[in-house]
Each structure stands twice: as C-alpha cells, then as structure tokens.
Amino acid sequence: MSIPIIEVKKLKKYFPVRANILFMQKEYIRAVENVSFKIYPQETVGLVGESGCGKTTIGRMIVHLEQPTRGDIYYTGENTRRFRGKQLKAYRKKIQYIFQDPYSSLNPRKIVYNIISMGLRNFHIIKDNRKRKEKVSEILEQVGLPPDYLFNYPHEFSGGQRQRISIARTIAVKPDLIICDEPVSALDVSIQAQVINLLKELKNELYLSILFISHDLALVKHISDRILVMYRGYIVESAPSASLFENTSHPYTKALISAIPEPGLDAHKGRIILKGDVTAVTGEIKGCCFEDRCYMSRDICKREPPLGRQLIPGHVSYCHFAEKV
Amino acid sequence: MNVNHELVNVKNLTIGFTVEELHFEAVDSISFSISESESVGLVGESGCGKTITSMALIRLLPSPPALIKGGNIFFHGKNILTMLPEDLKKIRGREIGVIFQEPMTSLNPVKKIGIQVSEPLRIHFPGLRKKEIYEKTILMLKEVGLSYPERVYSAYPHMLSGGMRQRAGIATAMICKPRLLIADEPTTALDVTIQAQIMDLIKNLKQEHNMSLLLITHNLGLVAEMCKRVIVMYAGRFAEIASSKSLFHSPLHPYTEGLMTSIPLLTDEGCLLTSIPGSVPHPADYLKGCRFMPRCIRKIKRCMRKIPPPLFLIDTDHYVSCWLYEKQAKGSL
Ligand SMILES: Nc1ncnc2c1ncn2[C@@H]1O[C@H](COP(=O)(O)OP(=O)(O)OP(=O)(O)O)[C@@H](O)[C@H]1O
Ligand SMILES: Nc1ncnc2c1ncn2[C@@H]1O[C@H](COP(=O)(O)OP(=O)(O)OP(=O)(O)O)[C@@H](O)[C@H]1O
Ligand code: SF4
Ligand SMILES: [Mg+2]
Ligand SMILES: [Mg+2]
C-alpha cells in the first residue's frame, strides 16, 4: 500500500476553560482524545459526529491552525511538528481547508479574480500575469462558474456560488488533500447537491484526497470511501463506508443510523432513543466515552476504556461488546 | 379523527414587507386548514415564508416591516386578524403554543428557566397558587425529559446545552396543554440522536393531549415521520399539498421531485445526486407566473405565462400547483 498523505497518531487537544458549566467544574475541555487515522491518496474519508465532538478541532490541527496538546501529524511519512519556513509553506499549500460558512470565509473586499489568483501568486505557482488570468478563468469554469464573474465581489453571489469560489480557491494551488468542514450545511437543500457533485467530480479529475467533516451521516456515506465516527472527542468506530452500515459494531453508530428520519423508511422500526444529552467533557473519562447514554453498557464500561477491536479486516470498533451490537 | 373538526382555517393570506422603500410580498395568497388532532408539515427552503406564515397565525409578525395585505385566519371559528388584543392574549400560549425557531433568542438570558417556563401558567391561570405553579412546572420539565428538573428550574439559559434549552422551549409551549402546537424547526440546531428524543417527546405529548401540530422544517424525512399531511412551499406559495404517503410515493411537482432526489439517503447507492439548477429567488424577484419556472427542467410553453398555476386536484387530497397537470386535474383550489 502507498504512503498515507496524512497520518495522525494519538492526537489530543485540551482547551483550558474558566467558566463553570452547570453540572461540572473542571479546568479542561477534552475536545480530542487519542485520535489516530490515515488518509491515503485519492481517498475520501468522512468524519462524522454530533456537534462539539471535536471534528473541526481535528481539521484545524492538521492544517496547523491549532497546536495539538499531544500527538503527531505526519505528511507523506514526515512529522509535520518540525516543519518550519519553506517546508511549512509547502505543507500549507498541499493541505487546503474549506470552511462551513460561505459568507464569512471569503474576503468581501476582493474580487473573485484576486481571491483565486492569490494562491497562485503566493505559492509561486504562476508568476506570469497573462497566464495567471487564463488559469483563473479555467479554474472558474471547472467549478461551474462562467468566467464573466471574474471581477465581481463575493456579496454578489449566492451561498452555493460562494462555496464554489471557496472550492476554486483551494484547488487553484493543486493540493493533495482538501479538508471540507461542513461545506454544505449553510446552503439551501436544493443547492447542496450541486456542491457535493462538484466535489466528487473534482476529486476524480484532480486525484485529490478529501477529509469530509459533517454531522450528516447520509451525506458522509454518499461521498466517503471510509468513515470515522466520533463521539465526545473519541473515534468510536472506523470502517469502509458500506461496512459501517452493514456490520455496524458500535452502539452509538447504531443509534445514530437509526435516528436519521428518512421518507420511505419505517420510522419506528428499530429506532433507538438514547437517554441524556451530549455535554462537553471536562473531567477525565475512566471507561467508555458513551457509557452514560449507552443502552448496552455494563459495569466494565464504567471502569475500563474499550480498546479498538477489529471484527472484520479494516473495520474497527471501540466497544467492549462490539460483536453483540 | 373520524369527524373533521376544523381548528385552523387560513384563506388567501398575503403578507407583504416594506424594507427601505422596497416592497415585496413574501407570502402570496395561501390557503390551508388544520383539523383537530391533525399533524401538518410545512416544508420548504430558507426564506420561502414558513416562519412568517406561522407567526401570522398568532399575529406575532413584526409590523412594520411586515403587513398582512389580505386574507383571513380563523382559529376555532374566530377571526384572528380582527380579534381584540385581549382576546388574542387568551389564545396565545393557552390554545396555541409555539416552539420558536431559535431557542437562544426566545429565552430571556437574565431570567431563570423555571420562571420562563411557568409564565403562561401565571398569565392564563391567575388563580393558581405559587406552590401549584411550581409543581406543575417541575412536572412539565420532567415530562420533556429533563433530568434534575429542580436544578434546571433555577438555572439560567446559558447554563444549559442546546438540547436542554430546546426542551425548555417545548415545556413553555406545552405547559398549558394547547390545542395547537406550532413547532418551527424544533430540532435544526440539534444532533440527530437528540432530535429523535425530542420528536418522540412531541409525539407522546400530542397523543396524550389530543393536540394538533404544525411542524415547520426543511427536513423531508422528519415530516414523513411526524405528519399525516404535508404542504410543500416554494417562494411564498404552495407548490404541493398531499398526504405524506402520497407525497413520498408519487411527488408531482418538479420542485418536490428535485428536492427528493437531491438529498442523499442512507438507502441510496453512491451515484451523483440530481441537483436542482439555479438558486432560490429573493421575494422582490418573485415571478407573476410559476415561480419555479426558471429552475424547472420540465417546463412547457404554458409555464412562461404570467399567470400562477392554481393548485390542481390530481388525486384524493393531492394538490399540485404546476401547469403540467392542468389536463388531468379533477378540479382546483
Ligand atoms: N478555541 C477553543 N477554546 C475552547 N474550547 C474550544 C475551542 N475550540 C473548540 N472548543 C471546544 O472543543 C469541543 C470540540 O469543538 P469542535 O469545534 O471541534 O466540534 P465540532 O465537532 O466541529 O462541532 P460542530 O459540529 O458543532 O462544528 C467543543 O466542546 C468546543 O466547545
Ligand atoms: N423582519 C423582516 N424584514 C424583512 N423581510 C423579512 C423579515 N422577515 C422575513 N422577511 C422576508 O420574508 C421571507 C420569508 O421569511 P421566513 O422567515 O418566513 O422564511 P422561512 O421559510 O421561515 O425560512 P427559514 O427556513 O430560513 O427559517 C424571507 O425571504 C424574507 O425576505
Ligand atoms: S409549472 Fe412548469 S415551470 Fe412550474 S414547476 Fe410545473 S413544469 Fe416546472
Ligand atoms: Mg465544526
Ligand atoms: Mg423560519
């Protein structure tokens, strides 16, 4: 197998907090706990989980917008912790980030041409002005926007078009990996499919890898080769897309799948209603992170953290009773 | 639901806005009704007019800039639009409960949760003693699935998680056991597993108290699960009205069809999604004729005319506002 584009090993991120939350008062939010995974060339990995489970924090650590509390990130086998200067700049070019909010992620004072060509200039990809303009028009066309839009400002575009511009900006610098953080959740339902289809097409055309972050499991399933399910900072299950649904091996994943309302599915069939609420974790979790809401938990779940168990090759579940799920 | 007692009846409701000299009609002559103990879903994209339609039902539209330009709204036979303010007060919170779209903004940040949840009780049942009010409130907080109701009672909104706040909002809407619950995107801010909990809760409360429900959402799956009847709204008008079953088995309007195939489903295989081209228009740009026409892939010559397609009756209780169905229509609304 080839070398992963990105490999993260035992990544942790703790945020210090001052305010006291209703039921607990301690000093750290444990946003990410011991997370490890790999992303291979041309692979789309979906990262799914409920709000606040740490998805964005992982993405931000990968692009060095956030310093890990512990753990390392490897780019094609090299530890990025030691990257400085030129090497860091090159790394930042290869790993691009698309944000959730298409309204605030584009500089309102720059025309589309400048937004897209900035990367080309910054990373010394194309120095010649005329060639750069040709390239920008070409990229704009690639994301399905007519080149007449080159000299418009972001506010003149709809949400879906703005997200296309964000995508144009990131593919301009020829990245290896694009991290898409909820790229369509701010868009109207009828527009979402346009953007998702575009990402899929570009991925094949440009041999990209994608880390697709979302709380929408159906969407993640649609676009991903492999899926990581997160809960409260932990990865609880990791599997090839199809296997995650066919051989679900974690009670949280099972509840998540069953909770998605879908026309045509019989709602009451097998719906698992969990108890309790997801709260940010500030104290140390001794056992399983899902224990307090789990419908399968036993004594051992309170005491011992479940280790990753591979019931099927490539399919890992962090549950003491994975085979019984 | 054997006898069809009408609880809400809206006729030709038109809502206009005036914003900086610009005038537009965000809701254009819509009509619908809700029967006793019926659940109706109102779906449509952002800005199509769902919230203002429901706010008009209890006359909570911000006016200015909003103005009801025409139509009538009857609740239990009484005209809401001509009602005296004091009569209206008796209905709001008592007969009609509302779960507002944004739980953050509908809760007062400096008032304790318990005080806010119990407010409708204090308004509508002035004879109740303090202790009774407290007990009823604690019971309601328990009923909406909040553990430690006493602690939640004396907490301030910022101390609760989103799901807990949403539950507090439901408790406020439900505390007087209203006849109609308007739930405006009650779970959009929440995670799916919490959404499932809350929907379960609304279903139970609805059954116990024989309540009607108007569920507003952009999530078709949620509507399919919760509602017997669905109204699909596009750009300030109704595109299609049908029973959930009929709508999901045989969507008629090109917009409804497009919506259903543009959403990835768990049951799908991973092919390309069919997307609806173009984007949602602003109310100031709404067309006279069919408003979906510029984005429609099935349009015919008739669609270009400047006449809005009426809601054609196609099948039992299945209406569609689209020229493609003119010939096979059994009537129209
Ligand atoms: N800069 C920060 N300071 C303090 N806490 C933070 C910070 N950034 C994130 N957190 C906390 O870390 C946790 C994980 O946040 P993160 O944004 O990664 O979640 P997420 O999975 O992306 O959620 P969402 O789906 O809502 O975007 C949350 O509890 C959040 O409050
Ligand atoms: N306070 C206001 N001032 C001006 N225009 C308004 C106001 N409130 C609503 N509108 C207009 O009315 C239209 C309908 O708004 P409404 O809030 O009913 O949409 P909605 O269907 O509830 O959307 P969403 O799904 O985003 O909540 C919007 O397109 C908007 O232009
Ligand atoms: S009336 Fe015409 S344009 Fe409008 S939805 Fe029907 S087919 Fe499409
Ligand atoms: Mg996030
Ligand atoms: Mg709304």
Q: Which of B46, B161, B196 has its CB closest to that of A277?
A: B161
Evaluate whether B178 touches B124 at the Cβ level (below 8 Å): no
Q: Is the pLDDT of residue A249 over 50?
A: yes
Q: CA triplet B277, B282, B288: central angle to 5 degrees? A: 85
- Between the CA of B202 and the centroid of ligand 1 the distance, in Å, is 29
- Between the CA of A56 and the centroid of ligand 4 the distance, in Å, is 4
pLDDT in tens, B104-135: 667 888 999 999 999 999 999 999 999 999 99
Contact B273 A197 (CB under 8 A): yes
- Chain B interface, mutation test: which of A20, A157, A189, most B Cβ atoms within 10 Å? A189
pLDDT on residue B81: 93
Q: Is the pLDDT of residue B94 over 70?
A: yes
Please give the residue that has the higher pLDDT: either B233 or A143: B233
Phi, psi dihedrals of residue A217, rounded to the nearest 5°: -65, -35
Please give the residue that has the higher pLDDT: either B191 or B151: B151
Q: CA triplet B145, B166, B105: central angle to 5 degrees? A: 155
pLDDT on residue A20: 54
Quote the ipTM score.
0.80
The encoded tokens of residue B172 equal 């406020």
Question: A153 and chain B: CB distance < 8 Å anywhere?
Answer: no
Please give the residue that has the higher pLDDT: either A284 or B85: B85
Contact A260 B192 (CB under 8 A): yes
pLDDT on residue A264: 66
Rounded to an integer, the average pLDDT of B196-209 is: 87
Question: A189 and chain B: CB distance < 8 Å anywhere?
Answer: yes
pLDDT on residue A24: 54
- Chain B interface, mutation test: which of A48, A210, A222, A258, most B Cβ atoms within 10 Å? A222
Which residue owns the Cα nearest ligand 1 atom 5?
Answer: A15
pLDDT on residue B299: 95
Q: Is the pLDDT of residue B49 over 60?
A: yes
Q: Is the pLDDT of residue B2 over 50?
A: no
CA distance readout (Å), B300 to A190, B254, B290 = 21, 12, 11
pLDDT in tens, B249-308: 999 999 999 998 888 888 777 677 888 888 888 899 999 999 999 999 999 999 999 999
High-pLDDT (> 70) share of chain B, %: 97
Which residue owns the Cα nearest ligand 1 atom 31?
Answer: A52
Evaluate whether A77 touches A8 at the Cβ level (below 8 Å): no
Lowest mean pLDDT among A18-22, B23-27, B38-42, B167-171: A18-22
Contact B221 A51 (CB under 8 A): no
- What ligand is nearest to the CA atom of residue B26? 2
Residues of B whose CB is below 8 A from A193: 262-263, 273-276
Q: Is B284 in the pocket of ligand 2 (CB under 6 A)?
A: no
Lowest mean pLDDT among A33-47, A255-269, B59-73: A255-269
- What ligand is nearest to the CA atom of residue B48? 2
Rounded to an integer, the average pLDDT of A33-51 is: 95
pLDDT on residue A105: 80
For residue B68, the cross-strand partners are B15
User: Cβ-count burial of A234 within 10 angstroms (0-12 exposed, 13-18 middle, 19+ buried)?
Assistant: buried
Residues of B whose CB is below 8 A from A262: 221, 224, 265-267
- Chain A interface, mutation test: which of B50, B170, B262, B274, most A Cβ atoms within 10 Å? B262
Lowest mean pLDDT among A21-25, A268-272, B234-238, B329-333: A21-25
Q: Which of B253, B276, B290 to mutate to test the pocket of ligand 3 (most atoms within 8 A of CB)?
A: B290
Contact A261 B224 (CB under 8 A): yes
Residues of A whose CB is below 8 A from B248: 263-264
Ligand 3 nearest atom to the CA of residue B239, by list position: 5
High-pLDDT (> 90) share of chain B, %: 64
Rounded to an integer, the average pLDDT of A254-273 is: 78
Residues of A whose CB is below 8 A from B193: 50, 255-256, 259, 274, 278, 293
Rounded to an integer, the average pLDDT of A307-315 is: 93
Q: Is the pLDDT of residue A113 over 50?
A: yes
For A185, nearest residue in chain B (alpha carbons) = B188
d(CA A316, CA A92): 30
Rounded to an integer, the average pLDDT of B80-104 is: 88
